[in-house]
């Protein structure tokens, strides 16, 4: 019986060990850039907590009382901005996990011969100009079954990309402002100074 317990403890130790080491390899423990962080530990704590990266016991206790925090596609600034910019067009597909939004063919009222279709692919979650790829397809029809479709890079593509990035930057700033909480030093920190 004692040997079985020793084996179970050893197996549990190995599972915990490999789990922690695999987290370090996969990026769970991220390293920071020393140039961007203050050398004083109290200043680093203050900076991290103000940016919403830290952990406060009081917040954890409040969260345990029923307030939960789920992250959905709505927390991705580029995704939200893209849907806001394209809200006038019907969507064929909006796949967050696949990173693509495809609209249906859209034409202004009274012009059934010409229509456009927009496809947005997300290459990164960061708000940058190279994080999204916007494709615009133009369809011109001579007759109902005689249509020609062309992909064009024109002013509309630049304008849609610009609008998405501008809205995403606003959402990103709002998110950072929401997570910002001023750090107040406790009495023990003040005594050390």
pTM above 0.75, yes or no: no
| Per-domain boundaries in the chain | 1-30, 32-69, 73-177
Rounded to an integer, what distance in angstroms lies between the CA atom of residue 81 and that of residue 128? 13
Q: For domain 73-177, which architecture applies?
A: 2-Layer Sandwich (3.30)
Query: For residue 133, what are the contacts with CB-CB under 8 A and spacing of at least 6?
Result: 120, 121, 123
**Residue 26's pLDDT band (boundaries 50, 70, 90)?**
very low
Closest alpha carbon to 144 in 115, 117, 113, 116 = 113
Taking residues 51-58, what's their average pLDDT?
A: 58
Taking residues 123-127, what's their average pLDDT?
A: 86
């Amino acid at each position: 019986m004692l040997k079985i317990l020793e084996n179970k403890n050893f197996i549990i130790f190995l599972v915990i060990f490999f789990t922690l080491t695999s987290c370090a390899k996969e990026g769970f423990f991220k390293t920071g850039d020393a140039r961007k962080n203050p050398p004083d530990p109290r200043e680093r704590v203050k900076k991290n907590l103000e940016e919403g990266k830290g952990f406060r016991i009081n917040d954890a206790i409040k969260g345990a009382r029923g307030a939960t925090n789920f992250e959905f596609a709505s927390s991705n600034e580029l995704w939200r901005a893209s849907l806001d910019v394209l809200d006038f067009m019907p969507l064929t597909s909006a796949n967050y996990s696949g990173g693509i939004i495809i609209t249906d063919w859209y034409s202004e009222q009274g012009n059934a011969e010409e229509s456009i279709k927009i496809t947005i692919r997300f290459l990164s979650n960061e708000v940058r100009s190279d994080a999204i790829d916007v494709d615009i397809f133009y369809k011109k029809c001579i007759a109902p079954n005689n249509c020609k479709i062309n992909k064009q890079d024109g002013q509309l593509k630049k304008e849609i990309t610009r609008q998405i990035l501008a809205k995403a930057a606003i959402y990103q700033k709002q998110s950072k402002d929401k997570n910002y909480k001023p750090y107040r030093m406790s009495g023990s920190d003040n005594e050390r100074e």
